[in-house]
Amino acid sequence: MNEARLLSDERNAAIQPVSLKPFLIFMALFFLVWAIRATALFFIDRSFQSDFAIQAYSLMVKFLLWVVPAFIYVKALDRRNPSEYLKLATSIRKRDFFYAAVAIFLYFAAVLLIEMGAKGRNLDLLYGRETSESLKILLLTSISPLFEEILFRGFVLNKLGESLDFWKANLVTAFLFTAIHWPHWLWRNGFQTSMLTTSAAIFILACFLGYLVRKTNSLWPSVVAHIINNFISGSLRP
Mean pLDDT of the chain: 88
Q: What are the tens digits of pLDDT across the range 131-153?
A: 555 566 667 678 999 999 999 99
pLDDT above 50: residue 181: yes
SS3 209: helix
pTM score above 0.85? yes
* Dihedral sign of CA atoms 55, 56, 60, 66 in order: positive
pLDDT value at residue 195 = 94
pLDDT value at residue 11 = 43
State the chain's maximal CA–CA distance in angstroms.
78
Measure the CA–CA gap between 125 and 185, rounded to whole angstroms. 24
Question: Which residues make beta-bridge pairs with 237?
Answer: 122
pLDDT band at 123 (very low <50, low <70, confident <90, very high): confident
Lowest average pLDDT, out of 52-56, 116-120, 137-141, goes to: 137-141
Helix 131-149 × helix 220-235 angle, to 10°: 140
Strands (E), the chain: 122-123, 236-237
pLDDT above 50: residue 125: yes
